[in-house]
Chain A
Amino acid sequence: MVGLSVGEKNFIKHGIAQDLRNDGRKRLTYRPIYVETGVIPQANGSARVKLGATDVIASVKAELGRPSVSHPDQGKVSIYVECSPTAEPSFEGRGGEELSAELSTALELCLLGGKSGAGAGIDPSSLSIKEGKVCWDLYVDCLVISSDGNLLDALGAAIKAALSNTGIPRVQVREAASSDEQADVDVSDEEFLQFDTNGVPVIVTLTKAGRHYIVDATSEEESLMSSAVSISVNRQGIICGLTKRGGAGLDPSVILDMISVAKHVSEQLINKLDSEIEAAERANEEEP
């Protein structure tokens, strides 16, 4: 982790109190965000997102699977995060597993909605091919290459970008002879379907350092964090998921206040992210 002296910590804290952070940002300003799509050709969709010195890759792979018994008309989505030791030497060996698990769970909470699939960013029933027989299983794999704070927001943005880059092959179901047999499917390698990613929320993490809270904290600022709340908000301004991290307690009224701030910040973030994704897709098309 970052080793900061008492003086340095005070400097950062006072900067935050005066609404002028170390890198010249205000409390509620994001670092410049940079998106590149299609970075992993083997995957159905992929994206790399840089947020300052934080650098993450998300890839989406679709595989044919069997729907679960409880929800036969829905596909499955799972999110895995891996922290590469290139980002931080302490992630070596099994060192990154705890953080990986924390981030994976937080992302699933924020993006996948409840167990029934209600409120999910990607509608799980759109992944169904034949009820009770075949569906698409989406595996979202993320890799943290470089970490300078605010990993969750960056990962959320990368997943959103990767999903809008994703093409799922069109599938035709051949009628099976009897109903209990495995369904026979034709996977097209020419026709691809795109997801509607309009509903995929973005994640805004508000980090409380001292008496104020900030968005998009760097790792120096995160080392002062007492607690953080990650809120996922979609385009309609609806909250899709929420997690609180860090030990210190928060006043309930502060949390409500944070939510309304996150809602406000998310509007700008969604617009910025959408235009970046669009620019990245256009750059891909122009390339031969």
Chain B
Amino acid sequence: MEYVNPEGLRLDGRRPMEMRQLRAEIGVVSRADGSAAFEMGNTKVIAAVYGPREVQNRSQQMNDQALVRCEYSMANFSTGDRRRKTKGDRRSTEISLVIRQTMEACICQHLMPRSQIDIYVQVLQADGGTRSACINAATLALADAGIPMRDLVTSCSAGYLNSTPLLDLNYLEDSAGGADVTVGILPKMDKVTLLQMDAKLPMDIFENVMQLAVEGCKAVESYIREFAILLKKKMGPGYATAILSKNGGSKS
């Protein structure tokens, strides 16, 4: 199948290096301490953060840092063909773990000892890149909850099909069998916190594809920062400091 046509357009009309449309919203779950919705094209997820709060299971309490927990779930109607799946299958356990580890890298856990932070992500629509969308939503929700963070984490995927590196794969491209590289970065610290790839790629091509995914992450970052600045104007100066504190680097 042809994933990039001779004119250089992809199945959904994007160019190879083009992201899908991003959209963010904050405060979507009014009873949570922090919440956000994040859309990348047709992929739509919401994240809710509860905490920092008392540790529910005492044996998990840590005296020097906060406990971070994460659960990923997919709605029955999120995929094209409806299927009834059991909760806690291997795929969602693995994604929960990945998201947790990625978020742990940016939360200042040492500032909140003996407490617990729960991150719940719920996929409403899946069209490729749910992992990335979940991480971006979780970052926003953590910021909305006012949880101290070292930096934002942003994530984006890239792939390689028809000898072309493609940014931000959708479901069709994702299931085409080519490589799919998901990257999560801490943009200001310039560090990679998440890197996953399936299938195989030659070394030099991998470098290009990963570079493309990192560029995608940076684009997501600038979108989130713009969004936060807009919010700050609306909500007052104390809002979203976690997102904006590293902006410009002069305040710290």
Contact = CB atoms under 8 A, between A and B. Distances in A.
14 contacts: A55-B29, A57-B124, A82-B76, A84-B120, A86-B121, A87-B48, A88-B31, A89-B120, A92-B118, A93-B71, A93-B87, A94-B87, A97-B87, A146-B29
A234 interface: no
Given A61-B82, A80-B84, A143-B77, A53 B30 contact: yes
A42 B125 contact: yes
Given A63-B82, A141-B82, A148-B30, A92 B71 contact: yes
Given A85-B120, A86-B48, A40 B29 contact: no
Main secondary structure of the interface of B (DSSP, over half): loop
A139 interface: yes
Contacts of A55: 28-30
Interface of A: 39-43, 46, 53, 55, 57, 59, 61, 63, 80, 82, 84-89, 92-94, 97, 139, 141, 143, 145-148
Contacts of B50: 89
B231 interface: no
B120 A40 contact: no
Most B-side CB within 10 Å, residue of A46, A63, A89, A93: A89
Nearest to A46: B77
A147 B122 CA distance: 15
A288 B85 CA distance: 35
Nearest to A91: B120
Nearest to B37: A145
- Chain B contact patch, size range: 20 to 34
B32 interface: yes
B32 A86 contact: yes
B35 interface: yes
Interface in B39-67: 42, 46-48, 50, 56
Contact of B42 (A41, A80, A92): A41
Contacts of B88: 93-94
Most B-side CB within 10 Å, residue of A41, A42, A53: A42
B76 A141 contact: yes
B29 A145 contact: yes
A125 B107 CA distance: 56
Given A40-B124, A86-B120, A92-B120, A57 B75 contact: yes
A59 B42 contact: no
Given A42-B125, A86-B47, A146-B31, A80 B120 contact: no
Contacts of A61: 77, 82
Most B-side CB within 10 Å, residue of A55, A63, A147: A55
Contacts of B35: 86
B73 interface: yes
A85 B29 contact: no
B80 interface: yes
Given A40-B124, A59-B76, A146-B30, 4 more contacts: A39-B124, A41-B42, A92-B71, A147-B31
Most A-side CB within 10 Å, residue of B47, B76, B125: B76
A219 B118 CA distance: 21
A192 B35 CA distance: 37
B122 A84 contact: yes
B71 A85 contact: yes
A44 B122 CA distance: 21
